[in-house]
Chains A and B, each alone.
Chain A
Amino acid sequence: MQPPPDLYGRPRADRLFSALAPVVAGYQRLSERSARRQPDVRPVDRDLTLVVRSVVAEADGVVSLWLTDPTGNLLPRWRPGSHLDVTLPSGTRRQYSLCGDPADPTVYRIAVRLVGAGSAEMHAVAEGSTLTVRGPRNAFPFVDRGPYLFVAGGIGITPILPMVRMCARRGVDWRLVYTGRTLESMPFLDELSALPTTDRVRVVPDDGVPDIAELLADAPSGASLYCCGPTSMIDAVRREWTGPLHFERFSPPPVVGGKPFELQLGAEGPVVPVAADESALEALRRVRPGAAYSCRQGFCGTCRVRVIDGEVEHHGGAVADGSMLVCVSRAAGDRLVLDV
């Protein structure tokens, strides 16, 4: 192992790095001895099987599910903004914000609006049945640094509700702007009006596009803004609001207008079909669950792989010739052969 040249341009190898080379080589040989008494890696199962204690209609097209441990054990604690990963009967996973009381460790509450196949499955869940969930985990952390302005759009009220309750309990300065298509479609209005300080809540039923600038106008001075709602609302808030801003970053947008193609994993490797509405990464991970990726939006470069054959339709950031970002790029033709 040839050490690097001297740092100050003297005509010899760098002395310190030269000295370091045998030390690290010796250290590495020492590390081999640790193979004796190597502890096993234990599989960790984080699934919770919970029973649906009750199902409550909260608004038009919205039900809440109350989940408890069937053996009466206490549930893991959570902070406002947390969600559960729910495995649906079909095997699909969906994330739902916890909208109950964080101080009550005996029950979780989630609320589901009926849109699409996943939520239809959740609406079909009956009292007394069991659900497999994982979590709670927090992608929308609520920080004790008021005053606050909360902006919720429709079912986006779910993570905000526990935050608002905590504010009401602590007596800090806060406001809530809650928009929805109609009053009948907006869940938890009754719980909001039962709060001790209802003048802090502004309910805006609006069929059109709400005027965001106007909604943000009555923020307390120096407020941190917490926003949850449709992407269009979050984008508008991001454009208008100059103060501290918290919002939940959802998983990447679905693949739209993609064509199906095939991935071959290695020159002699297996062939995996990629459906029109999934990314090459999703298909790759079915076969190689340990494949590295991170952002799933084509900017971090973690998932970059070398392409042995086939023409790539590139999306996302620039990559070196002959490679692709499997999280966003697709095949221009029928098949790509990847060096994985």
Chain B
Amino acid sequence: MDENLVLHPRNVRFDWASVPLHWVPGEPLTSHTINTLHIVLPEGERWFVEVFREALPLITDDELREQVTGFIGQEAMHAEAHQGAADHLAAQGLDPTPFVAQIEWLFRKLLGDRDLTGAAKHQWLLERLSVIAAIEHFTAVLGQWILNSAPLDKAGADPTMLDLLRWHGAEEVEHRAVAFDLYMHLDGRYLRRIRTMIVVAPVLGWLFVRSARWLMANDPLKPGRARWRDYFRAARIGLLPRLSELLPAIWRYLPRGYHPRDEGSTDQAVAYLAQSPAAKAAS
């Protein structure tokens, strides 16, 4: 935590009423690939909060505990904000319930506490903290990407949706070191860090593909099937992250000397939060 930034949740609100289903005009695949966040993150971030809640009493570093406390509140607000966007999908005739039911099962059952006790319970907690550290590596990468994503503005993307994504992205960049520092504090073993990344990276990719396909297939505006060709075109013009930006991020996580401070720019995140309409209006 070289920046020593104090983290705090922001009480943001978004008015979804005027946000269209294809919020990047004429780009259903781009809209739905990013809409994945609304249907995966509310459950995912609530799971983060549950796991971190379990870890809190084990922390023996007051400063780290304060960071984790700020992190939990930020994640809770992210979950609520994306839930609002997911509800808006439903209001527009794209009810995400079947997909969300699977994500619920993924986080609550498969990655839940599994009714373990003793050493097995403790090891499962550490394993999941390592999973969260790996996921947070990607959220920092994606957060930085969305802060830099001028092509979305140029394509006429809805300003409310962009503000949600960039507020969220900026807070991900702000708190990018917390999950990693927590894992290093409570365990820190290299083998565990690497093996969870090997699982997390493909599963995250798979979730985005699966959800973009499903949203396209169930879109009441019938935009047609999700096609890789459309992804590559969108990525080429900067509407979605390119694979050549995402895949190298995996390698950057592998060296023993990795630390999230080297990913993303805190200054850029702070500068965005100073001008974000939602963050400025937050109490």
Contacts and interface: CB of A to CB of B under 8 A. Distances in A.
Interface of A: 1, 3-5, 7-9, 14, 16-17, 20-21, 24, 27-28, 31-32, 34-35, 38-39, 41-44, 46, 78-79, 82, 134-139, 141, 143-145, 224, 238, 243-246, 249, 289-295, 297, 299-302
21 contacts: A3-B105, A7-B214, A17-B102, A27-B127, A28-B120, A31-B192, A42-B60, A46-B61, A138-B3, A139-B8, A141-B3, A141-B270, A224-B274, A244-B275, A245-B280, A292-B56, A295-B8, A295-B11, A295-B73, A297-B11, A300-B72
B208 interface: no
B120 A32 contact: yes
Given A136-B4, A297-B11, A46 B63 contact: yes
B271 to A, nearest CB: 5
B185 A41 contact: yes
A136 B63 CA distance: 11
B275 A243 contact: yes
Nearest to B279: A245
Interface string B55-99: 011111111100001101110110010000000000000000011
A245 B109 CA distance: 43
B9 A34 contact: no
Report which residue of B109, B111, B189 has the largest number of chain A beta carbons within 10 angstroms of its beta carbon. Answer: B109
Contacts of A290: 56-59
B150 interface: no
Nearest to A21: B110
A43 B61 contact: yes
A272 B122 CA distance: 30
A246 to B, nearest CB: 5
B9 A294 contact: yes
B73 A28 contact: no
B4 A137 contact: yes
Interface of B: 3-6, 8-9, 11, 49, 52-53, 56-64, 69-70, 72-74, 76-77, 80, 98-99, 101-102, 104-106, 109-111, 114, 116, 119-120, 122-124, 126-127, 185-189, 192, 199, 210, 214, 217, 266-267, 270-271, 274-275, 280, 283
Contact of B274 (A9, A14, A35, A246): A246
A144 B266 CA distance: 11
A294 B4 contact: no
B8 A249 contact: yes
A39 B62 contact: no
A141 B266 contact: yes
Given A8-B217, A41-B185, A294-B9, 13 more contacts: A28-B114, A38-B187, A41-B58, A44-B61, A46-B62, A134-B63, A137-B63, A141-B5, A143-B267, A244-B271, A246-B270, A249-B8, A301-B80
Smallest CB-CB A-B distances: 7 pairs: A294-B73, A290-B57, A44-B61, A139-B6, A300-B73, A244-B274, A43-B60
Contacts of B104: 4
Nearest to A241: B280
A7 B98 contact: yes
A38 B126 CA distance: 10
B186 A35 contact: no
Contacts of A82: 4
A145 B272 CA distance: 11
Contacts of B57: 289-290
B280 A238 contact: yes
A39 B72 contact: no
A128 to B, nearest CB: 28
A82 B6 CA distance: 9
A38 B119 CA distance: 10
Contacts of B3: 79, 138, 141
Contacts of A20: 106, 110
A17 B120 CA distance: 23
B109 A35 contact: no
Contacts of B53: 292, 302
Contacts of B105: 3-4, 17
B102 A14 contact: yes
A302 B49 contact: yes
A100 B161 CA distance: 42
Contacts of B62: 44, 46, 134
Contacts of A1: 109-110
A153 B171 CA distance: 28
A169 to B, nearest CB: 18
Nearest to B62: A46
B73 A302 contact: yes
A60 B49 CA distance: 47
A16 B99 CA distance: 13
A125 B62 CA distance: 26
Contacts of B49: 292, 302
Contacts of A46: 61-63
Contacts of A295: 8-9, 11, 73
A301 B120 contact: no
Contacts of A137: 4-6, 63
Contacts of A299: 9, 11, 77, 283
A28 B124 contact: yes
Contacts of A136: 4
Contact of B270 (A28, A44, A143, A243): A143
A129 B119 CA distance: 47
A246 B188 CA distance: 36
